[in-house]
Amino acid sequence: MVMKMKSWSAALAVCTALSFPVAGARADLLIENVTLIDGTGTTPIKGASVLVKGDRIELVSPTALKHEPGVEVVNGAGKFLMPGLIDSHIHLGANTITEDNFKEQRQVGVRALHGYLYSGITTVFDSGNVPDYIFGLRDEERSGKLLSPRLLATGTTVNVAGGRGGGPIRPEGTPNSPIRLKEKWSESKPVVEAYFKSRKPDVQKLVIDRRGVFEPPTPIMSVEQMTNVIRLANENGVRTTIHAASEEDYNDALAAHIDEFAHVIRYPASDALLKLLATKKVPLSSTMIVFNYIERIAEDTSFLEAPLFKASVDPEIIANQKGPERQRYMSSGMSAQFKITHNYGLNNAKKVHDMGGMIVAGTDRGWGPTLHMELELLHGVGIPLLDLTRIVTLNGAIYLSREKDLGSIQRGKLADLLLLNADPTKDVKNFQAIAAVYKGGQKIDFSKLDIPANRK
Ligand SMILES: [Zn+2]
């Protein structure tokens, strides 16, 4: 009975809004008669309508809405509308950016960002980069100067001297220095706090990697050091994520109250740990493709010829991946090691998902098409496609603390939308059947993207 009352009042509110439009508040965009996949993982709704005013979603209706004058109407018949995709773990420039070259490398980043838009991705989180580079691009994106997905970043990561897994190596004592904790927190705290206040990282990444299963041990932060950093970040309104590798690393990070993880554990993990992660709903960025990519490229580079790659990634980058980068992956032993650990990671992702945990789509790569490869891997291990529609949208927004504004098609949220020509809940390839991409209600003009598809 109470439920009925509630839906009545909701219906009345909708009617009122439609019958008496406020003067001047013109609706900008109406996508109608579309199958709505709203990002929450609930059953798609056929024949739905979504009304966008300005940059926000004004109304979501399971049925037709009245056409207001001046509204741009998009006929969604035969199409599927979902939130824009979110990649929760990228490195713009794919680790080629250094403190010395980042100014010349701007265009590399811009082109990659355009490739993300072309791939249906409207938000990315850069999980470690040269701060001046990534925050410079973030400023350009936020001021509207740069055509780009929403760009969120950590900038530098927090580690200890000699710790591994910290990403690009940069000298200490410069504006782009990595943060390397000293033994005494009183010595490190001012440095860390100054970073939070001056750079305003969207999420702060820490790194502990005491060993891969196959590598010698390296120094890591203590639980106490991590606890101090995480508490300070949270006090400054910043969530924390962490690169962790082994089960001990994960347990230490949990003991220090980490908010989330930058990878799914890719080594054998106990059911107790996986259960704990699932029960606490700790978000885990999946990043299966980084391992799969490096493993696969040793044997077969043909995936770099896939249509989405060729359309959106520069031929020089593809040639570099097929040549020197492939050699580096093989000679460093990475390809061979990732081949061994590949199934552990995917199985852990599936187990956590099945236990009710929060898997978030992330790639640890620098190009849009890899997010689609990530979805293929997660689906390949048995995660249902409808669940993936949430893993790559709302779960990403939660990982980034942006769920109030992003990640689902719900009233009041930003209108970051992906219109597809085919049903992504029927075939994982259909996430690539892109008809249109909207960021904040604005349709992305694909002809303006600096990508190979436009340079013929
Ligand atoms: Zn990474």
In a domain, 25, yes or no: no
Separation of 242 CA from ligand 1 center, angstroms?
Answer: 10
**SS3 assignment for the chain:** CHHHHHHHHHHHHHHHHHHCCCCCCCCCEEEEEEEECCCCCCCCEEEEEEEEECCEEEEEECCCCCCCCCCEEEECCCCEEEECEEEEEECCCCCCCCCCCCCCCHHHHHHHHHHHHHCCEEEEEECCCCHHHHHHHHHHHHCCCCCCCEEEECCCCEEECCCCCCCCCCCCCCCCCCEEECCCHHHHHHHHHHHHHHHCCCEEEEECCCCCCCCCCCCCCCHHHHHHHHHHHHHCCCEEEEECCCHHHHHHHHHCCCCEECCCCCCCCCHHHHHHHHHCCCCEECCHHHHHHHHHHHHCCHHHHCHHHHHHCCHHHHHHHHHHHHHHHHHCCHHHHHHHHHHHHHHHHHHHHHCCCCEECCCCECCCHHHHHHHHHHHHCCCCHHHHHHHCCHHHHHHCCCCCCCCCCCCCCECCEEEECCCCCCCHHHHHCEEEEEECCEECCHHHCCCHHHCC
In a domain, 38, yes or no: no
The pLDDT assigned to 27 comes to 52
The answer, yes or no, to whether residue 94 has pLDDT greater than 50, is: yes
Separation of 374 CA from ligand 1 center, angstroms?
Answer: 14
Looking at per-residue confidence, does 192 or 24 come out higher? 192
The pLDDT assigned to 19 comes to 37
Interval 326-334 mean pLDDT = 92
Separation of 389 CA from ligand 1 center, angstroms?
Answer: 23
In a domain, 64, yes or no: no
% the chain with pLDDT above 70: 91
pLDDT band of residue 135 (cuts 50, 70, 90) is very high
User: What is the rounded CA–CA span in Å between residue 350 and residue 387?
Assistant: 11
% the chain with pLDDT above 90: 80
Separation of 429 CA from ligand 1 center, angstroms?
Answer: 25
In a domain, 34, yes or no: no
**C-alpha pair distances (Å), 384 with each of 104, 185, 314, 350:** 42, 45, 32, 10
The pLDDT assigned to 172 comes to 66
CATH number of residue 184's parent domain: 3.20.20.140
In a domain, 1, yes or no: no
Least confident of 36-45, 88-97, 235-244, 415-424: 88-97
Least confident of 202-211, 215-224, 323-332, 362-371: 215-224
Separation of 289 CA from ligand 1 center, angstroms?
Answer: 11
The answer, yes or no, to whether residue 156 has pLDDT greater than 60, is: yes
Q: Is 260:282 a contact under the CB 8 Å cutoff? A: yes
Chain segment 264-318, per-residue pLDDT in tens: 999 999 999 999 999 999 999 999 999 999 999 999 999 999 999 999 999 999 9
Separation of 155 CA from ligand 1 center, angstroms?
Answer: 12
Q: Report phi then psi at 97, rounded to 5.
A: -85, 130
In a domain, 185, yes or no: yes
Q: Which residues is 115 bridged to in the sheet?
A: none
Separation of 161 CA from ligand 1 center, angstroms?
Answer: 18
Separation of 433 CA from ligand 1 center, angstroms?
Answer: 27
The pLDDT assigned to 167 comes to 57
Q: Which of 252, 262, 259, 327 is nearest to 290 (CA)?
A: 262
Separation of 8 CA from ligand 1 center, angstroms?
Answer: 48
Separation of 286 CA from ligand 1 center, angstroms?
Answer: 11
- Number of domains observed in the structure of the chain: 1
The pLDDT assigned to 15 comes to 35
| Tokens (6 digits) for 258 | 């980490």
Range of the domain at 335: 84-407
Separation of 157 CA from ligand 1 center, angstroms?
Answer: 10
Per the listing, tokens 């696969």 go with 296
User: What is the rounded CA–CA span in Å between residue 157 and residue 221?
Assistant: 12
In a domain, 300, yes or no: yes
Separation of 24 CA from ligand 1 center, angstroms?
Answer: 46
pLDDT band of residue 40 (cuts 50, 70, 90) is very high
Separation of 202 CA from ligand 1 center, angstroms?
Answer: 15
Separation of 5 CA from ligand 1 center, angstroms?
Answer: 49
Chain segment 15-29, per-residue pLDDT in tens: 333 333 344 444 589
pLDDT band of residue 234 (cuts 50, 70, 90) is very high
Separation of 13 CA from ligand 1 center, angstroms?
Answer: 46
Separation of 130 CA from ligand 1 center, angstroms?
Answer: 13
The answer, yes or no, to whether residue 7 has pLDDT greater than 50, is: no
User: What is the rounded CA–CA span in Å between residue 426 and residue 442?
Assistant: 28
How many beta carbons lie within 10 A of that of residue 284, not counting itself? 29
In a domain, 442, yes or no: no
Looking at per-residue confidence, does 215 or 283 come out higher? 283
Separation of 262 CA from ligand 1 center, angstroms?
Answer: 7
Separation of 378 CA from ligand 1 center, angstroms?
Answer: 18
Separation of 445 CA from ligand 1 center, angstroms?
Answer: 30
Separation of 423 CA from ligand 1 center, angstroms?
Answer: 31
